[in-house]
Structure 1
Amino acid sequence: MTRTNTTEITNSLVLVAKSANSFDNRYVSKAFRDLGALRRRLTAPALAAVVARTYPVGATKTYLAAVVGEGDVDMEAEEASEPLPEVDAYVHLLVQLYLLDTGALAALDAFNVHVVAQLRAHNRRTLDLIAAKIWFYVARTYELRRDFVSVRPALQTALRTATLRHDDETRAALITLLLRNYLLTHDVEQAANLVGKLEFPEALASNALVARYFYYLARIHAVQLDYSRAHEYVTAAMRKAPQSVQTVGFQQAATKLNVVIELLMGDIPEARTFTADAALERSLAPYLTVTRAVRLGDLQLFEECVAQHAATFQRDATHNLVMRLRQNVIKTGIRIISLSYSKISLRDICIKLQLDSEESTEYIVAKAIRDGVIDATIDVQGFMASKEIVDVYATTQPQAAFDARIKFCNLVHNDMVKAMRYPTSTNRVDLKAHLEASDKESQLLKALQDGDLDDGFF
């Protein structure tokens, strides 16, 4: 097992070195694709063996060997040359993963200081992808230790450096890490200020980082009551996220936020949203109950659901948004009553909706009328009189819905065009010959059109 792990790590290091020498990030991406499977089989002896083969005798080799433990590996292996900075960073990333998976948070916290110092010592564009991963696990260490404030200066300094060096992947990763840090401490205003003052490299970052960025934007706008933009961002996040087993958790979190935002917008999510697969159906069970309460306008069912699943909503960071749905439940109940009764007293509405008093009922009904939820009037005798139902197709609502769908289709089309990649020609001689042949063919066609073709043309 140790030999297998050592071989896999060595193969990944070869890809990283090839990427550094050829300035092609595809090799690093290939190494990262195998990182998940390799991470599950990481062992201390395998890491110690790789350290012994990769580093020459010195402070770095001694420090890494002490961190991972030597095991039964001969540390007096044949002398190695100084590794490339990219290979060095990748080995440090593997050590980070090993300490994180073994739960050695204290050792990992001390090791992160060493890793950050190693990153700051180099200014190489080929370190961009690996540095982004390393900073993610640095921030993850502080998060597991419930220390959200101490890491912010380091992240901000690294973001400034990455911006000046045009390290787009690292810059995108650091922006998302800062947004997550602010949202975990409910500093929504600081997160909004960060978004307003920085430009996220959407076209240059990976889809996973773009999806996370859109998800955090959706949460920020949802808290700020901008539900339309929040819905656009969370939909884009679900579309941008990689569709794999590793992203199931993100898809569930984004779907939960999307359900709550749609309910806050006054829409009812489709039934297939809750039945896409078994795992998603189980995780969305509380949100399905909330959706039923909003659709039926049942205030008692809504309050029972919130009381029963309060811990789940707190864990999903949607509790405050779900609590806002109480007004939507009441508005739905008023809409149902206005469709069922042409005239009804405010006292009966108060009893049916289980509200506090007739005064609060009058205020809620008046606000629903002003917001256009219902088309009715309140007379001086304390009765709500519904007006004649207007045909919805005589209004501009169908046009607005159709316009929203067209915008969504155009957005998907533009994203797919931006994501297209074309192979670059590596053979300059063939390219030059192709251009000369094309030029000669165009001259021949021109001569045929002008009628001055003779034997001397060739």
Structure 2
Amino acid sequence: MSKEQEKSENVAAMEVEESEEAKQERLQQEATALAIADIKNNFVFLERAVDTIESRFTTRVLRTTTSIRKRLTPYILSQVINEYYADDTRKNDLLRYLGEQQDVAMKDTAADESKKEIPRLPEIDIYLHLLVMIYLLDNQKFEQGMELSKTTVQEVETLNRRTMDQLTAKAYFYYVRYHELTDKLAEIRPILLAAQRTATLRRDDDTQATLLNLLLRNYFHYNLYEQADKLVSKSTFPENASNNQAARYAYYLGRIRALQLDYTAAHTQLLQAIRKAPQNTATAGFQQTAYKFFIIVQLLMGEIPERSIFRQPVLRKALLPYLHITQAVRVGDLNKFQEGLAKYGANFKRDKTYTLILRLRHNVIKTGIRMISLSYSRISLRDICIKLHLDGEEDAEFIVAKSIKDGVIDAVLDHDGGYMRSKETADVYSTNEPQSAFHQRISFCLNLHNESIKAMRFPLNAHRKELDNVQEALERERELAQEIAEGDLDDDDDMGDF
């Protein structure tokens, strides 16, 4: 190969590389321009939300935050901030957190004067603060994010606008998140309590629901379950809160009821939390946590969870320790239960389910006694000790007597003979069990129907159009009645109109 050919090939290769670099740069510029356009488009929706007093436009803006969050860069945020703010003080405050300075090239006297003529909405101002807080959170700049979140919370406290409710709730959420990551949750508890009272007085449902859940999370972080129960008893969760906040509140309420031994109410609340939570991979963490408590509560109620729960791809790995415990409870094997408790004890303590799982020991023994009563018409207490691995016959006698009293088994205990005799199995349809199960299913369907109706959204003042139509029809009837009374219409015209 000659030197000229080698030189031409090198030039061609460099041109290909340059074209690929130019293509990558062009795609990056397009992505940046698209992200800036999306943020500006959200400004339009926020202005429309203020003009129409419709919260659905703000909801639409917050839903796009997930897609915008992945594309946020200091350059994108600085460009939007430089174009929006005319006040150099507010502009520089936000640019300082991004490590950027004011763009001198964009400073134009005419442009600044035109900006000053346009009134700036506090909704857009808080939205830009939220975007900067999200960027700092994703880049683990916690100290700067905490400082900005404090400033944002102080600003929203002075505003009492219904169009700010959802943005205020988000501001408090990131405010608590920064303090949680820096382990300073105890310091902000009085601030959250005061803000929750203020939101209740202002009838700010979104902020009220968010703060209530954040306070419960704060109490649960420090294991202050009694204070969490007092907070729930003294406050009312708003009915118009978002579905996500309702799911979180039901989860916290289910945990409180489980610790209070009210397993029926805990089962209802945890099931409601699971069903209200979005069913996607983005909420996998919440689903896993809720299912862990749901499975333990279901076992404490004497029921066995369905096998399909442990087979879901999102839950399979996280629920493996709980599958071991469920299998031990199902067969009534006390040794297997102790092995699972020793093997996965660290997992249970990390999940804060260890205390509830310790209560399952009695359920394991009761399940074993139930299986024995179904298998044997008569069995000695000595054999029960061997099968259930109990310490002595006295323990076996006490446990059998307790199971008979609780209605777990239908048997007779002979103290003198030292044996347990099972009675004949009665027909379940002769009892009230089918009726109670049917009533439970009907109640669930009715509650689901009522909640679905409450969750429906309707356009604001839509009923006024119907009232206007009714008024027009009444006016037309009055005119026809007056014309008929005055004799202006003959019989043919009258019949034609009707």
TM-score (norm 1): 0.91
1:437–1:310 distance in 2 versus 1, CA, 3 Å: same
Note if contact 2:296-2:357 (Cα within 8 Å) is conserved in structure 1: yes
Indicate yes or no: 2:380 matched with 1:350: no
Bigger shift: residues 183-192 or 126-135: 183-192
Partners of 1:307 and 1:205 in 2: CA distance: 42
SS of 2:400 mapped into structure 1: helix
Bigger shift: residues 354-363 or 204-213: 354-363
Aligned runs of 1:109-258 on 2, under 5 Å?
A: 109-202=146-239, 204-258=240-294
Task: Give, as a single letter, the amino acid of the residue that structure 2 aligns with 1:171.
Answer: Q
Bigger shift: residues 18-27 or 156-165: 18-27
Aligned runs of 1:55-66 on 2, under 5 Å?
A: 55-66=85-96
Bigger shift: residues 280-289 or 128-137: 280-289
Aligned runs of 1:250-269 on 2, under 5 Å?
A: 250-269=286-305
1:290–1:73 distance in 2 versus 1, CA, 3 Å: farther
How far off is 1:430 after superposition? 8.6
Aligned match for 1:291, one of 304, 320, 326: 326
Note if contact 1:52-1:75 (Cα within 8 Å) is conserved in structure 2: no
Residue identity (%)? 46
1:115–1:259 distance in 2 versus 1, CA, 3 Å: same
Note if contact 1:217-1:230 (Cα within 8 Å) is conserved in structure 2: yes
2:21 corresponds in structure 1 to none
CA RMSD, Structure 1 to Structure 2 (Å): 2.7
Indicate yes or no: 2:34 matched with 1:4: yes
Alignment: residue pair count: 452
How far off is 1:372 after superposition? 0.8
SS of 1:59 mapped into structure 2: helix
Q: Deviations over 1:288-326 (max 9, x none)?
A: 222111110011111212222223223333222222111
How far off is 1:282 after superposition? 2.5
Bigger shift: residues 94-103 or 417-426: 417-426
SS of 1:174 mapped into structure 2: helix
1:96–1:322 distance in 2 versus 1, CA, 3 Å: same
Aligned match for 2:121, one of 84, 92, 95: 84
SS of 1:70 mapped into structure 2: coil
Q: Deviations over 1:208-235 (max 9, x none)?
A: 1111111111111011110111111112
SS of 1:266 mapped into structure 2: coil
How far off is 1:431 after superposition? 6.1
Note if contact 2:219-2:227 (Cα within 8 Å) is conserved in structure 1: yes
1:324 corresponds in structure 2 to 359
SS of 1:21 mapped into structure 2: helix
Q: Deviations over 1:72-130 (max 9, x none)?
A: 94475342336211111111111111111111111122222211111122221111000
Q: Bigger radius of gyration, 1 or 2?
A: 2
Indicate yes or no: 2:408 matched with 1:408: no
**Which structure 2 residue ranges, 5 or more long, are not aligned?**
1-27
1:337 corresponds in structure 2 to 372
Indicate yes or no: 2:335 matched with 1:305: no
Task: Give, as a single letter, the amino acid of the residue that structure 2 aligns with 1:248.
Answer: A
Normalized per residue, which structure has more helix?
2
1:37–1:219 distance in 2 versus 1, CA, 3 Å: same
1:388 corresponds in structure 2 to 424
SS of 1:280 mapped into structure 2: coil
Partners of 2:205 and 2:385 in 1: CA distance: 57
Q: Deviations over 1:175-225 (max 9, x none)?
A: 1111111122211111111111111102x1111111111111111101111
